[in-house]
């Protein structure tokens, strides 16, 4: 089976302005390559139909660098003429998806997920949407997710001094049918209007991964990513 893959690559990188100011955040250099490339090269090419890059801010730099192909994987572009929020960007990109299941990734995080295991949970649990979750100590920067078996039952706001918790790692498996369930407005939050709204349906599932998680959203983690990818 092949999947279409959506990568959210429209980030401005506001918090990285001190170190990266002239390219979209996913093009920030990490380990001698754009961070986006570190994500692309880990995709299981044999199981990818195409990659849909959801772009906006300075997208021309991404398109000029990658064109329409990455190591044999077709690349297409979903271009936001104005910021649409995480939800609107995903919704626009999903209009170009044609496979039964769609993998959605953030362009500024790297999460080493066993996609075969995640897909097994997604299908066995008859999920509409499955999130990859990461158990993290001191998850102050993130909201946390409460899980019962594989079912997401609640999202919690950021909490100081929380010793540990499951965080949303920004990797999703979605059924193509989700396209018909998205809000009709153009600009909205995927986290609020889709994920939180889906909790009540029981069709929102979670898969816990122990793989490495890297978020380049702030300068400290950006520097940590440099060290990790330099070491391979």
Domain of 220: which CATH number? Answer: 3.90.550.10
Domain membership of residue 193 as a residue range: 3-230
Nearest to residue 135, comparing CAs of 209, 228, 216, 205? Answer: 209
pTM: 0.94
| Contact status, residue 102 vs residue 2, Cβ threshold 8 Å | no
Predicted confidence (pLDDT) per residue in 30-72, tens digit: 888 999 999 999 999 999 999 999 999 889 999 999 999 999 9
The dihedral through the CA atoms of 93, 94, 98, 99 has a sign that is: positive
Residue 2 has pLDDT above 90, yes or no: yes
The total number of structural domains in the chain stands at: 1
Residue 176: pLDDT band by 50, 70, 90 thresholds? Answer: very high
Task: Check residue 119 and give its pLDDT.
Answer: 96
């Amino acid at each position: 089976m092949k999947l279409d893959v959506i990568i959210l690559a429209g980030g401005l990188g506001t918090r990285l302005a001190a170190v990266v100011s002239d390219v979209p955040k996913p093009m920030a250099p990490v380990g001698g390559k754009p961070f986006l490339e570190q994500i692309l090269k880990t995709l299981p090419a044999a199981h990818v139909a195409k990659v849909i890059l959801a772009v906006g801010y300075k997208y021309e730099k991404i398109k000029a660098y990658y064109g329409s192909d990455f190591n044999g994987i077709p690349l297409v572009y979903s271009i936001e003429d104005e910021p649409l929020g995480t939800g609107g960007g995903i919704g626009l990109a999903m209009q170009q998806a044609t496979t039964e299941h769609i993998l959605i990734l953030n362009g500024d995080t790297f999460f080493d997920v066993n996609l075969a295991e995640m897909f097994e949970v997604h299908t066995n649990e008859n999920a509409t949407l499955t999130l990859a979750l990461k158990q993290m100590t001191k998850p102050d920067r993130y909201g946390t997710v409460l899980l019962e078996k594989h079912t997401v039952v609640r999202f919690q706001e950021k909490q100081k001094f929380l010793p540990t918790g499951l965080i949303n790692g920004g990797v999703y498996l979605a059924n193509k049918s989700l396209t018909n369930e998205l809000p009709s407005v153009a600009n909205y939050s995927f986290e609020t209007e889709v994920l939180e709204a889906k909790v009540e349906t029981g069709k929102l599932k979670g898969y816990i991964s122990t793989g490495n998680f890297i978020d380049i959203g702030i300068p400290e983690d950006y520097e940590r990513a440099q060290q990790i990818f330099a070491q391979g």
